[in-house]
């Protein structure tokens, strides 16, 4: 380690810009980017939800089946599912200390987040296709 710089990282770690876990700040930035995406998409999604209040089933299907609405909802679902996965992974890594249980919880988190995203996207696709 280079003590002249006052940092506790190895020279190779400084060159690769990676932290102790080997993943650097990628996870941190993914959380921030998905949070910003959710924040920006929340406004149109809330407008869409307000537009749906008091509508019957046919009108709701017509509104949600519009291409622009479907795209906005799909982007919101993707960003939310990815953000959920990242956030729960951090919680699991911080608070689950048994390595086998931690691995099982991380795998379950990934499968659950993926399933929520796929089912939600399927529902949006089904609305847009009119089936």
Q: What is the pLDDT of residues 22-77, one digit of tens each?
A: 565 888 899 999 999 999 999 999 999 999 999 999 999 999 999 999 999 999 99
Show the domains of the chain with their CATH numbers. 25-129 (1.20.1300.10)
**Tens-digit pLDDT profile for residues 66-84:** 999 999 999 999 999 999 9
Alpha helices per DSSP H over 18-56:
26-52
Query: Do the beta carbons of residue 71 and residue 107 sit within 8 Å?
Result: no
- Answer whether 127's CB lies under 8 Å from 64's CB: yes
Statement: residue 14 has pLDDT above 80:
no
N residues, the chain: 131
Model pLDDT for residues 93-102, shown as the tens digit of each residue: 999 999 999 9
* pTM for the model: 0.79
């Amino acid at each position: 380690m280079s003590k002249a710089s006052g940092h506790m990282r190895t020279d190779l770690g400084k060159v690769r810009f990676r932290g102790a876990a080997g993943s650097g700040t990628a996870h941190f930035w993914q959380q921030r980017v998905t949070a910003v995406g959710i924040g920006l998409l929340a406004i149109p999604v809330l407008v869409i939800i307000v537009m749906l209040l008091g509508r019957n089933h046919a009108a709701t299907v017509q509104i949600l089946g519009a291409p622009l609405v479907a795209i906005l909802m799909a982007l919101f679902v993707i960003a939310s599912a990815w953000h959920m996965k990242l956030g729960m992974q951090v919680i699991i890594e911080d608070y689950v200390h048994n390595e086998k249980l931690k691995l099982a919880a991380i795998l379950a988190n990934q499968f659950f987040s993926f399933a929520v995203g796929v089912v939600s996207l399927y529902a949006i696709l089904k609305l847009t296709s009119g089936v």
